[in-house]
Amino acid sequence: MSQGRRGGDDLGGPLTPEDRTTAIGLFNFARSYWRSAEHLRASKIDVSHPDAPMLFLLYQAIELYLKAFLRNAGYDLQQLKSISHRIIKAGRDAQSAGLKLTQADFELLELVDSYDNVMRARYITTGAHTRPEDTELSDFCQHLDGSVGKWLADDGHPVRQQTFSPPAKTPGARPLEDILAEELETLSKQEREIIAYLLHHKQRMFTCAVDGGRAATLISRGIVRHALRPNQVFDYNDMPVEIPPEVWRFLRANVDKFPYDGDEDEPHPWRKHWME
């Protein structure tokens, strides 16, 4: 594989796609996607779907890091194309070629591949799904940047070794606490009763009907989200959902705003009677 030629010459001819798709090129592209995603995470852009572009950049970065490793391990362009965007396959192939990945890493890769998560980051889709935490994706990108970068550097590639500091927050960006505080001011009596019940029972995760029942608006707000694992089978009346850890921490710090006056025999407040 030619790595240094530019343009064409009388001896080697023009560069081919095989020539252009280098391991260091894929690695640098991956790093560009990862760092761009980090700056989006820090910016807290006030738009309707701030997570989608950031998640797509992280998904793309992971794919490119793994393909950079495979390219360096001897995969040709056709082999990389045959993997397509199946991140779990890229991970398995990379592990077989010598990259150390843990069971937790594979669970993350499997979750990325599930529920059309990559497509959901590009297009508006509906339906129950679970996506990876952006913090997990970011940490995995950082791990791949170090581990894949070391492999490439050890094989003589000009990897720019650097330590990245967390991006500075955009001036005027709203902290998560402020966003949640404002959201909680608009909660309905029913929504407050659900949160009060969960806080009182220290129950961050629960099950509900597939439509969310009376917790449907909490799902819309992002205070409750689906908590399904890849290929998990569930009853349509008992779909796993959860309050995200960062939201749960905020709610627990403000538990005094959600007084609980129920009794132990009351039905779950998010459940609708079957005759409703």
The pLDDT tens digits for 68-104 are 999 999 999 999 999 999 999 999 999 999 999 999 9
pLDDT of residue 214: 93
Please report where in the chains the tokens 């581990």 appear, as a residue.
Answer: 147
pLDDT of residue 22: 95
Q: How far is CA 132 from CA 55, 114, 122, 245, in A?
A: 9, 10, 15, 13
235 φ, ψ (degrees, to nearest 5)? -80, 140
Q: How far is CA 27 from CA 117, 207, 246, 269, in A?
A: 23, 42, 32, 50
Closest CA to 244 of 114, 137, 167, 135: 135
pLDDT of residue 10: 45
What single-letter amino acid sits at 36?
S
pLDDT of residue 6: 36
pLDDT of residue 43: 81
- Contact of 130 with 115, CB cutoff 8 Å: yes
Beta bridge mates, 208? 239
Cα-atom radius of gyration of the chain, to the nearest Å?
23
pLDDT of residue 2: 36
Low-confidence spans in the chain with pLDDT less than 50: 1-11
CB neighbours (10 Å) of residue 67? 26
Alpha-carbon dihedral 67, 69, 73, 75, rounded to 10 degrees: 10
Measured CA to CA, the distance from residue 37 to residue 44 in angstroms comes to: 11
Alpha carbon of residue 193 to chain centroid = 30
Structural domains in the chain? 17-154 (1.20.120), 176-257 (1.10.10)
pLDDT of residue 12: 57
pLDDT of residue 170: 57
Burial of 131 (0-12, 13-18, 19+ CB in 10 A): buried
